[in-house]
Structure 1
Amino acid sequence: MAALTAATLALAPTPAPDGLTQTLDPNQSVAGGRAVLETGHVDVGPRYRDGQWTIQIHDDTAVPPVWRRPSDVVLRVRDAAVERVPDDPAYAFVGQPPGTPVHVVPQTQNQDVVWIGWNTQDPAVMEAISRGVTMHLLGVKGPGSVVVYLQSGNLGPPQVLWDSTKPFPQPLWVETNTHTHANWIFTRPGVYLAAVEITAELVDGRQVSGRDTLRIAVGDSTPVDDAFTASYTASPPGAGATPGAAAPEAGPGSDRSAVAVPVLAAAAVLLAAALVWVLVRGARARRRALDPGEPR
């Protein structure tokens, strides 16, 4: 187990641009069956097919690369990822005393550790969305905490993107045609479930969203079957979610613009009824004013 210095936890500077440059084939298939990914390059990202907006995992370890459904994938973080928290106040956000062993998925690739990133490079997504997407961390369930952060190449302070000890949801804006890798820290071995939602505005103005759950098995002794079968009771998004409480799993994305239609229709009916009542009352009042003998 390596002793982790601040420079090690911060990792190397962001790799040269060609390290993150990629173009995805629009015809890449969706693979079936379960997969345990413990080394190599994987990205989480949105897909848009046949009017359905979903979250999938792009698996570059397959030849040729494929997309996979999150429910079919366990991201396994082996003990080769173990480092120690440095004695540096800049990394107090890890929430563990200096010298504590933690599992670190690095921002720059370690050939012995699964390399987890995200992209907005599905060709159909790039054609459909206006500017970018928002990735929301809705909740995390696990034996410890999870922190995702970026380290700039100029030795600047870490930029924390997601922190499971903070209130949910936690939004992260991602531009179109973006491919990013960050540092992921897991403070305890075991199974983690991370509920995520990706939302976007399409070029036609409609809002779309998709939710799913990332399954992560941390540590060599953690059974991957436990990660496949794990579940949790979640709070609805936006209902005062608290740290450690995850949001429900979801399948294909939804079109939020459709939700407003029945609400507006009901409001129109009520408004029309109120207008009729006012007109009738006004007519009766005028008749009474002209004919004092009319019954009231």
Structure 2
Amino acid sequence: MNLFRRFAAVAASAVVLLGLTAMPAAAATIQSGHIDGLDIDYANGVLSLDIKTYSPVNDDLAPSGTTLRLLSSSAITVPSGTAWSCLGAAGSTVYVAPQTQNVNLLYTGWNAEDVPAAQGPVKLELVSWTAPAGGRFALYTTAGFPAAPTFRLNTNAAAGCPVTVWPGGIAAGSHAHGNWAFSQLGTYTLTFKATAQNGAGATSGNVTYTFQVG
């Protein structure tokens, strides 16, 4: 083997070895398709929080450097009824990455399939956030639109609306989707923290995500 080939072989081996322990890759922008924005993994006593993709390949992406985008075509109108008041005023516009897949929009969920039962449920906290003027974020589920929402997280400061700790935690082994709603166009940052055993175990530390609406 000549010197060049020997160097190439060594470099390739190094890439493989680094790939075993490297941090998740980062993507520029994701604006459509199935992802799990809150991908919670647990291995060797370490809990991590990243973004899981499915197409073109299964991969873990670092939230840092990755932008999750909601197109302006994701706009919906807030229904009437007191159940919806924590999302916004009836008739107002919110931009939603929907719970039911629309191939033209971001379809994002949460995933704790790699968390052993003994480490669950996972406490999920919305530690801090930034938003455009008047901007609010909410993550909610429904049993079919416009059924009443169940808010998992909500930054609305109105009485009775804020939810900064996921009620009951995220069940180990689960994978589900919800509606990720934003009340204004612009850039949002959301900082999450996941902790195993409903707050008693290993933690991901603070992990910041960037969402671009519009």
Q: Do Structure 1 and Structure 2 share a fold, with TM-score over 0.5?
A: yes
Match of 1:85? 78
Provide Cα deviations, 1:61-114, integer angstroms capped at 9, x if missing partner.
3x2210011103110001120122233333111123x33222111111111110
**Larger fraction in strand:** 2
Q: Which residue, 73, 84, 91 being the options, matches 1:99? A: 91
1:133 equivalent to 2:122? Answer yes
Match of 1:57? 51
Contact 1:30 1:66 in 2 (8 A): no
Q: Which residue, 147, 152, 155 being the options, matches 1:164? A: 155
Write the letter of the residue equivalent to 2:155: S
1:48 equivalent to 2:42? Answer yes
Instruction: Tell me the C-alpha RMSD between the 2 structures.
Output: 2.5
Provide Cα deviations, 1:189-215, integer angstroms capped at 9, x if missing partner.
01111111111139xxx7111120111
| Higher alpha-carbon deviation: 45-54 or 157-166 | 45-54
- Please give the secondary structure, in 2, of the residue aligned with 1:80: helix
1:69 equivalent to 2:65? Answer no
Match of 1:146? 137
CA positional deviation for 1:161:
1.4
Write the letter of the residue equivalent to 1:74: T
- Please give the secondary structure, in 2, of the residue aligned with 1:132: coil
Change (3 A) 1:140 1:174: same
Match of 1:215? 210
1:165 and 1:113 mapped to 2: Cα distance?
A: 24
2:110 and 2:178 mapped to 1: Cα distance?
A: 9
Change (3 A) 1:197 1:218: same
Q: TM-score, normalised by structure 1?
A: 0.56
Q: TM-score, normalised by structure 2?
A: 0.76
Q: Percent of aligned positions with the same letter in both sequences?
A: 26
1:93 and 1:82 mapped to 2: Cα distance?
A: 17
Provide Cα deviations, 1:18-49, integer angstroms capped at 9, x if missing partner.
xxxxxxxxx9x865243311000111122234
- Please give the secondary structure, in 2, of the residue aligned with 1:102: strand
Write the letter of the residue equivalent to 1:184: W
| Higher alpha-carbon deviation: 66-75 or 161-170 | 161-170
CA positional deviation for 1:168:
6.6
Taking CA–CA contacts closer than 8 Å with sequence separation of 6 or more, which of the two structures ends up with the larger relative contact order?
Answer: 2
Match of 2:28? 35
Provide Cα deviations, 1:219-266, integer angstroms capped at 9, x if missing partner.
1xxxxxxxxxxxxxxxxxxxxxxxxxxxxxxxxxxxxxxxxxxxxxxx
Match of 1:116? 108
**Larger fraction in helix:** 1
Higher-Rg structure is 1
Contact 1:139 1:168 in 2 (8 A): no
Structure 1: gaps (5+ residues): 1-26, 220-296
